[in-house]
Amino acid sequence: MARSKFELVYSDGTRKQIGSAERTSLMLSQQIKQVGSQKYKFIGHAQRFDSFVDLAQWYNARAQGPQEFRHFLANLAVVFELAEEKSLQLEETPEAFTVRLHDMGCAPA
């Protein structure tokens, strides 16, 4: 089975192929927006390093591992049983909930 690949375009015109997990994480962190069926534009904050101290802080943050955002919490699901019929509900992460509220037109508090 072929893996889904998406094209990410940065503000300087460079392009990168990303997978669906990275795309989901970037969407939930509101760093990209969709401009085509499989094309996304980077709208996140560009970082500038004026000294090695700034670069060291970035390196230390990266050494802790990337923060990956997901739509649903891993290994946490609720099963409802009503009239002998079971239904599974996945628990949404706060990041995904925020994006869903924004898409519905609700302004942040």
| Residue 17 pLDDT | 93
| Residue 66 pLDDT | 56
* Structure confidence by residue, pLDDT tens digits, 53-109: 777 777 676 666 556 667 777 676 777 788 888 887 778 877 778 777 777 777 555
Tokens 């509220």 sit at which residue? 101
What pTM was computed for the model? 0.56
pLDDT score of 40 more than 90: yes
pLDDT score of 50 more than 60: yes
| Residue 107 pLDDT | 59
- Residues 9 and 41: beta-carbon distance below 8 Å: yes
Apex CA 88: angle with CA 82 and CA 94, to 5°?
125
Q: Where are the alpha helices (DSSP H) in the chain?
A: 20-28, 52-63, 94-103
**Domains in the chain: boundaries:** 1-44, 70-109
Q: Which of residues 58 and 12 earns the better pLDDT score?
A: 12
Pairing of strands 85-92, 32-34: unpaired
Q: The sheet that has 5-9: what strands, in order across it?
A: 15-19, 5-9, 39-42, 32-34
